[in-house]
Amino acid sequence: MARTHLIAGNWKMHLSPAEGRELVTSIASGLGGTTAEILVCPTALGIADAIAAAAGSKVQVGAQNCHWEVKGAFTGELSAELIQSAGCSHVLLGHSERRQFFHETDETVSQRLKAVLRAGLVPVLCIGETLSERESGQLETVLRQQITGALAGIDAAQLTQLVVAYEPVWAIGTGVVASTEQAQEAHAFVRSVLAGVLGDLANDLRILYGGSVKPGNAAELLAQPDIDGALVGGASLKAEDFLGIIAAA
């Protein structure tokens, strides 16, 4: 079945609330008649302004992470319920920067994923291998582990909205994009692992590519049969670049 492209921007730790508001306003006014779904993920502080600026447009707003508890003594954290009450639709989970710098494991990603589902939000599960893992032949083992680890104990019936983002760590912020063949091959593999866990549902789920996506390489990536959108870092911070990627979808 046809899968609607999802073009998502991960702003990481960039842009003040006012800058984010301006960016969302520019994106919303430049969308034209795109059929793609559009998402931006500001910092926690920028969520409210982004939502205000996105009102009445196709732009959806998500968070970059969440805690697994509903509330409690967890200084500095945000629950999925708080994120939902702020008006967000999606939450990124298990981004490689969370795994690398904040000791995120498949187990904690799975706990967060359950919290996102509990709050009725759409999870965007990020997976991807490092260069040394790829070069030592562990690509498939790593991706399989990240997927099965995150989805362990969750019913397929709860995962009908799941989005997976394949982001090879070596392509993030480096300007080195995976070749279309490398990306398509990894996406097909990810879909096969999802099919093993979730059955036919895997054909309906979107798998986004992330890692140095730019207006100039987006069209070729997005034309691949198993690439259903993009998770964009650096190029999502400028309206012109992000709109260029949306136009390619």
Binding site for ligand 13P (CB under 6 A): 10, 95, 167, 172-173, 210-213, 231-235
Decide: helix, strand or coil at residue 4.
coil
**Is 104 designated active site?**
no
Query: Contact 74/108 with Cβ under 8 angstroms?
Result: no
- The one-letter code for the residue type at 140 is E
Shorter beta-carbon distance to ligand 13P: residue 81 or 98: 98
Q: Min. distance of Cβ 153 from ligand 13P in angstroms?
A: 26
Catalytic residue among 37, 129, 167, 187: 167
Shorter beta-carbon distance to ligand 13P: residue 9 or 81: 9
Query: From its phi and psi, is residue 73 left (phi > 0), alpha (psi between -120 and 50) or beta?
Result: beta
Q: Which residues contact 103 (CB under 8 A, 6 or more apart)?
A: none
Shorter beta-carbon distance to ligand 13P: residue 202 or 221: 221
- The one-letter code for the residue type at 86 is A
Shorter beta-carbon distance to ligand 13P: residue 123 or 211: 211
Q: Min. distance of Cβ 126 from ligand 13P in angstroms?
A: 7
Catalytic residue among 95, 97, 104, 129: 95
Shorter beta-carbon distance to ligand 13P: residue 198 or 249: 249
Q: Which residues contact 237 (CB under 8 A, 6 or more apart)?
A: 9, 11, 14, 15, 23
Q: Min. distance of Cβ 191 from ligand 13P in angstroms?
A: 20
**Is 103 designated active site?**
no
Q: From CA 240, how far away is CA 249, in angstroms rounded?
A: 15
User: 138: burial class by Cβ within 10 Å (0-12, 13-18, 19+)?
Assistant: middle
Phi, psi of 67, rounded to the nearest 5 degrees? -90, 165
Q: Min. distance of Cβ 230 from ligand 13P in angstroms?
A: 8
Q: Min. distance of Cβ 158 from ligand 13P in angstroms?
A: 24
- The one-letter code for the residue type at 75 is T
Q: List the catalytic residues.
A: 95, 167
